Structure 1
Amino acid sequence: MCAIALLANVNKLPRRLEVLEGENAAFCVEVEEEEMEVFWFKDGLQLRETHQTIIKSFGKTHILVFVNTSYQDSGTVTFVAGRSKTSCKLRVKAIRHCPPICPVGVQMNTECPNGVVLSWSPSPNLQNSTKSVYVVEVQEVGSQEWQRCVTTETGTSAEILGDIVPCEGDYRFRICCMNKYGRSGHVEFPRVVHLSKKTNAAVTEGEDAVFSIELSASMIGTWFLNSTQLQASERCSISQSKTLHTLCFHNVPNVYDGAEITFIATGVRDSAVLQVQGMAVWSSLPRFIFESGNPIVLYCEISNPAADVRWFKDGQELHREEGLNIQSDGSMRRIVLQSSEYSHSGVYTCQSNDDIVTFHVDVEGKCQFVGFVVCRNRSVDTGHPLVLRCELSDPDAEVCWLKDGEPICPQSGIDMQINGNTRTLVIESVDFYDSGTYACRSADDVAVFEVDITVSFKEIPEEERQKSTTELDPVVLHCELSRPDATARWLKDGAEVLQTDNVTIQAEGTMRRLIIRSAQLSDAGAYTCQAGDNTMSFTVNLSVTGENY
């Protein structure tokens, strides 16, 4: 887009021209004679042609164009031809950044067993210049609480299995888009899907394995072993009592280890994995590997059913508590952890007065960031250190730090630290170009930080900020910012100072100036240059006939 100021002659320019940041500002002047010597000025400084300032002449027509304007281009533009001149005040208004727009075209595919495939499209009006993430949330029908289940930066689809839900039920989903400017509204997917959490059942070889499910209404259901329909036989018993369905495998053989048991009824599908452990004897056992979230069952058999035993983990005695059950059944001794976590890895021992048995347990699973919140924001002044920190569920996990999608390489002034589960990125002294999107990525998860480097002022001694002069003399106030692209404004006694024929406001690189060409007594007072949340203050004292004003 381009805003244009036109002149019929050199005697008059429009008093004001306003354009949006990023637009072109064009001035066209037609003079009475060709071959006249003409000049363009901005805030008293003569303009030269650059890649962002275009100056052209065609006979009597003279053109000035500011390309891709920024706030710093605001000021007074003056055209001089011979002894004639005319001026126009250019104002470049900043574009207001808005939160992202909702995704569109949401669809739900429920053909996935005990799961759902969600898909969507970015809004056509989404600003690609700002990194955005999509957040999918789930809600059980009848509940008021929504919980995050999927976060993705670039994907436009997600497969969600029943493992994410706490219990069997009907669930709905919604999605929103987030970036550093905020969050869009939520768009709800059009259907409701029935999901159930897949659980595991662990038994010892030769024991009975019992599966049961209770429905909300009495109906006929079918049991399957690895997709093969089961019928009542000597090996298994199938029964139904009103809404309760039960399957019992007798004398389970080791070949059933890892088998999937599935129950299907009208509108209901639930499944579990059967884990068959070999019969343990009172001796050291091999290493056990459990998937994170599944139960841990450790057991052994002793020769004296009446003997007392004590369980230990890494030398610390274990006691019954929520999530940890210690069982004694005849000569069998067993501990059960309902839901395994990485911290449950270690060496477990069962000790009696006569002997000891040892279990080496490893819990494997996805390495995730603990307490992760999408788009954690950080604002840091230039020159200050930037510290980004996140915590992983696995202290041995490897991570990669990225900025705007590119890996960050170790170098002077940048420190990447590992301390147990914590991963830390430290930039000792940030500059404005350190703004952007940072990510700490593991093999299974990512933590995202939006970093904005704020503006600060270079220190000026107090005595240099006290200006004393006499009436009609010029007054120049100046300060230096940490960022050349920072927006600053001048205030006097709390009111904004506007540019006039007697007052010039300049911005060159990091320098900001306020120039009063001929000071009046009314110009005395407290002046402030404000940039973001930071300010620099000045005091102007004027005197007349030798007396202080």
Structure 2
Amino acid sequence: MNLEGKVAQLTVLHVQPEDAGRYSCSTGEEKTCAELRVKPLPVTFKRELVLLEVKEGDGGVFCCEISKPGAPVEWKKGRTSLKPGDKYEMKQEGPFTKLIINSVEESDAGKYTCKTKDSQSTAELSVRGSPPSFKMPLVSQEETEGNSVVLRCELNKPASCEGKERPVRFLQDLKNVQVQEGNAVTLSCEVSKVSQVQWSRGATLLTPGGEKHLMKQSGSTLELHIRKSQPEDSGSYSCVCGEARTTATVIITAIPVTFKQKLKNQEAVEEGAVTLRCELSKAGVPVEWRRDAQLLKEGEKYLMKQEGRIAEMQIRNLKLTDLGEYSCSVGTAVTSADIKVREIPVTFKEELEDVEVKEGDSGAFCCQISKPGAPVDWRKGRVVLKPGYKYEMKQEGRLTKLIINNMEESDAGKYTCKTKDSQSTAELTVRAPPITFKTKLRAQQVEEENSVTLSCELSKPGLTVEWRKDQELLKNDFKYQIKNRNSSMELTIKNSQLQDSGLYSCSYGDTKTSANITITPIPLSFKMGLKNQEAPEGGNVSLRCELSRAGVPVQWWKAEDQLQQGGRYQMTLRGKTAEMHIRNVQPEDVGEYSCVFGEQKTMAEVTAASVFFEKELESQAVMEGKPVLLSCQVSSANVPVTWKKDNVVLEEEGRYIVKKNGPTHTLEIKKLLLEDAGEYCCISRGKKTSAKIIVRERVRVVSELQGITVTAGEDAVFECELTHADVSEGVWWLGQSPLQRNEMNQMTVRGRQQRLVLTMTTPDETGIVAFVIGEEKTSARLLVVPKATVLFEEKPKDVVIMEGESATLSCMISDFTSPLTWTRNHIPLRDGEKYEIRKEGKINLLIIRDVDPLDTGTYCCDTGDDQSSAKLTVTELLLSSKRNYRVWRLRREDQPLCTVSCLNLESDSMDEEQAATERQQKV
């Protein structure tokens, strides 16, 4: 249930027949009723009965599925209704219904029908009869010539002699037909003899006597006429006569629908209605209405109607937004028209009236227009007003208002409310109150050089005032800062002096407020005294103090001695700040310093900090021949340092480079020698920092690489020996390319030995192989010669051998070392229990042990460059020789099939169990 505006709606979901009845809607004393009728859905067959064939004496089941679970059905055989009992069982499970026929007899054969209220389904039961048999056979008899003899036998069932007539067949089949909608369709066929037939469409049996289908039979010619064909009549039609069937397809093409009368452009007045009308070429075809591309649905706005070929749509309560293109479509045919909506002119039913408001209050203009919700513009003079804090615009139905907040004199003037078609104007008058000072100036007294601020507040914001000292008009500049903050006025006098004392006033027109400002002199003193300082020897130090007044001359003293400007002393006076800088502080500069003016004095101590190392030397381990840099940093940039090695002073010469950069001191030693190892120190003012230099001996090559020559495909091995063990920084080179460790380039380190194995070499790898470690290098030449072609000097010969013996195939090749591959039926042979592969110089042997007829075949040998083959023939033993001969075939992991044979030549009386045990032991 929902309520949208004035519309109340009740929706009944998934309507059932029991939902039928009278429904009412009531509000207050009002009530409206309506009756709901529920038309039940027709019960149809979702799955039809199918032909059933059952053996005589067995049970048979017909099953079908209906569209409505639990709907009542009736079972018939021919025209006879069936009742449940011993013979027939009827079951219904949801949408499935069954007929079970028990103990089927030949008389049960026939057509069975399941019938609902709206449709029916029929199928045939065929019974396969059991053949007759003799319960009592004939008995042999002997009788005298001339007498009668009676032979008697008994069958298990009555028998009859019947003649089987020739089955009916179709002499002429149905033919496919395609016609246009509305035309009649005739399907015809011819049977071999006059018989009863059935017509069907798909799985639906057609019945005679309807308006749609007419069935005719003239002798052996059969016809089916379809009247006033429609596209939905398309489908597969069949004629069935006994076991014979003929089928044809009927296609009914629809007549394309067109518009005989198209939509016409229309123009209507706002809030009115307009009707669009068109005529189709065919009645009863549903259409779709659209506005632009949007599909329209019937409701309060759109009323759609279709009678015969006329389609109409009425658009009610027109608005300006309803204008646009409307279309009616059916299939691919479309007709469209434009709707224009004329706007109703908006006039004033009540005009604006003049308004008089006191400044600071709010005022409102109000008028009434003829069209509720019509847009209006508010203007002051020619300026369009926008809603905000100042202006509020409200519209309630026909009433529209303009509210002006916090009224000011500038708001006075003529205001207009303007619609699209007319306007109304009225005048606003603002009454201003007299200007007064809400807060007046106050007398103030401040100390010289401070700033002082005078402030007052007017009764009205945004006014401009005049500031004066006595009779002198003041202006905004570096001395005076004048500010207007709404109704608050401020005058700030910066860095006030004694001459700034006097009478100050603020005036607006005839309104004025005044106050006296008194500036008192500053007492002369030290605002900030000297502070004790500590400076590193050779560094700089600054003494600073601040006076209460600027420009006062001072004197600088050290103890009882007055200091003068110059040399290492630099004295400055900037405003109130007095400074003295002492450069390159020495131990004799330590003492008490003072700054004096008049009888005022401030003192501070200066001390010299001893030199120390801010950054110490660091020990290093460096390879022989490499440079090393020692670095340290002292606390003063001006103190000298001394470098020593094992307590021996170092001078800057040769390989020693001494440098200074501010407080940082460095010692660089180029191309380290083993004797450069030791303890190095840097000394300054009795302070010392030390570090050790460890010189590692350079890795050298003790045993050089040796050049080698290999045949393509072989491995090339290079080895060299170093002075140090387990060195992993070396690099192997082949030509101009460094080698990467992988399966083809195998690099190993064993103690001091470095080893490189190049696997599967090729002739294009011929070149220089080198090992590089630091500045050391050893190299040798690698020569890879192409591999010689291996040919057969003597090919294998065919062999004939007796079953159970060992066969040997041999051949001779041109190379002593090259391997040979033996295969049988393209499968490589491996050395094992069955096959032994042997090489003796150039001679290559394949020995096949304990052959049997299965080993017969062609065996091939391949050198890689040449191939040859030989045939092995195994002669089978005679049956007499196979006494106690057994063959076992065993599967092994390394061979698909292993054959083991045993031949027992002992006497036949040997115990079978003992023989089996021996066979297992041999296997």
User: What TM-score does the superposition give when structure 1 sets the normalisation length?
Assistant: 0.34
Higher CA-based Rg: 2
Looking at both structures, which has the greater relative contact order when contacts are Cα pairs under 8 Å and sequence separation is at least 6?
1
